[in-house]
Structure 1
């Protein structure tokens, strides 16, 4: 069963399933990035853990699960696996993740949403969407974003206008993703209409999907972070440094799971991993970028 199917089977909300996943309380397996639940194991689990099931159903609706939503980040994903209180991860893009966060479907949201007018990341959209809610925005990293191309850069791509002039076959991100918004902004600055470019029919839903498509020859180029270029041994044309932040409610900022994540970032292994991945500036990690005390 999928997450939705097991939630229907147990007559609970999907976010409760993710809460159980984060706490490692429900039998499951992961196949190609998706959580799956063998029905016979779920039945056996229900019989042996009726008290856990009762506690899950009684969990307060105001307390979101230990779930990270929003944008995908390789360093963050690795850190969550390594720290003692791992979050379940559901990265479907910054805009969709922010909507889930607003609806109390997750405790933590990763964002890199550029506001073209102010040229600020994340703060304008939070001020607009959360309207003085008690949230805090924590700096995670500045990341190098750019164009991923095949090893050796066979098309000789050097700048945004080359995507049009060299008739490059592009793979885009889904609408609302931070990289999707960034690409549209860069095209507009250069006076390039998106209709003049050639895109694959299906968008990519993560940075690693971009890397995989280019590495396997399905696309000539796509926008993603430098760490993915290194992961897939691709060439990288840097464009901008972007700000990637973590959004969390005040009431959960000092909770053990989030503080454990922040404490782990001080570990030597974390510093070495950031350097290994490439394209990360973590000098401001943990700094408060936006803090709204008001609750209405």
Structure 2
């Protein structure tokens, strides 16, 4: 598992064995089975104490409280690479994509195990403020998934010669909006504000695009002239880039970080297959995938 280098004091194998009151041989066996957080960044085994403490807390058996574990559901924002990885990794999570804010709400209510979000806060910041507001508890972890390129999806070849959002508004072109609270809708509001516009200046398509795939289908079928979406979702459609480094993160409770579903996903995320898929889709920077951005 990937460990941030600033996680906490680093313990050696002997120190972590003493800390857990087991033999060093037991630690080596746990490392071989990836049962304990560790790092090989310096060429030898090191154990960040903060993450060891979090792992130890996750293994603690508590008396029955009547609170059921969350269902195996990923909720939140639609992301083509993540949804493919969830299927390929065998994580066993069902996918429920109704936008970033909805995902955080589902996680907070115990109706999802994992949420994905890309909520801009202005000034280039993403996600951490909304996460703190929706999930104020002390057991929340935010894991980076990817930096993504967002822009305007158009018909193949951009036959309407769309040049940007101001052009879309001025010409009354049909724009495919996203659900309220979706990260793309929040980003749209910020981009429109930079042009001195609001969503009311746009002529919207008759229905809302429910996901990245739905957005692309609406444009392919002529239901909309354009919409704000991912380079990865464009396929053969036209694409006009607007934001090159949008931040997409995964949010979960600390107790679930070491669970089989999340570990299966993160293990697959380190594979050559995922890197190849990201390159094929385009518009992804997965250099920092797996880094812990926030650990309450």
1:191-230 to 2 correspondences below 5 Å: 191-230=196-235
State which of 241, 263, 266 in structure 2 corresponds to 1:238. Answer: 241
1:215-294 to 2 correspondences below 5 Å: 215-230=220-235, 233-240=236-243, 241-292=245-296
In the alignment, what sits opposite 2:95?
89
Asked whether 1:144 is paired with 2:149, we answer: yes
Shift of 1:194: 2.3
Asked whether 1:106 is paired with 2:109, we answer: no
- Contact conserved, 1:155 with 1:166, CA < 8 A, in 2? no
1:33-52 to 2 correspondences below 5 Å: none
- Contact conserved, 2:155 with 2:219, CA < 8 A, in 1? yes
Shift of 1:132: 4.1
Return closer, same or farther for 1:280/1:60 CA change in 2, 3 Å cut-off.
Answer: farther
CA distance in structure 2 between the partners assigned to 1:139 and 1:67 by the alignment: 18
RMSD between aligned residues:
1.6
- Structure 1: gaps of 5 or more residues: 1-57
Map Cα deviations across residues 73-108 of structure 1 (whole Å, 9 max, x no partner). 111111111113321111111111111110011110
CA distance in structure 2 between the partners assigned to 1:196 and 1:247 by the alignment: 34
Shift of 1:62: 3.5
CA distance in structure 2 between the partners assigned to 1:181 and 1:91 by the alignment: 16
Q: TM-score, with normalisation over the residues of structure 2? A: 0.75
* SS, match of residue 161 in structure 1: helix
- Contact conserved, 2:104 with 2:135, CA < 8 A, in 1? no
Return closer, same or farther for 1:60/1:80 CA change in 2, 3 Å cut-off.
Answer: farther
Q: How many residues align?
A: 232
- Contact conserved, 1:64 with 1:106, CA < 8 A, in 2? yes
Return closer, same or farther for 1:134/1:59 CA change in 2, 3 Å cut-off.
Answer: closer
Shift of 1:177: 0.6
* SS, match of residue 247 in structure 1: strand
Asked whether 1:160 is paired with 2:165, we answer: yes
- Contact conserved, 2:114 with 2:250, CA < 8 A, in 1? yes
* SS, match of residue 74 in structure 2: strand
1:169-180 to 2 correspondences below 5 Å: 169-180=174-185
Return closer, same or farther for 1:59/1:258 CA change in 2, 3 Å cut-off.
Answer: farther
Q: TM-score, with normalisation over the residues of structure 1? A: 0.75
- Structure 2: gaps of 5 or more residues: 1-63
Runs of 4+ in 1 over 4 A off after TM superposition: none
Q: Name which of structure 1's ranges 221-230 and 60-69 shifts more when overlaid on structure 2.
A: 60-69
- Contact conserved, 1:148 with 1:235, CA < 8 A, in 2? yes
Shift of 1:59: 11
- Contact conserved, 2:141 with 2:253, CA < 8 A, in 1? yes
CA distance in structure 1 between the partners assigned to 2:98 and 2:201 by the alignment: 27
In the alignment, what sits opposite 1:9?
none
Map Cα deviations across residues 170-207 of structure 1 (whole Å, 9 max, x no partner). 11001111111111111012101322221013211111
* SS, match of residue 145 in structure 2: strand
Please say which structure displays the higher CA radius of gyration: 2
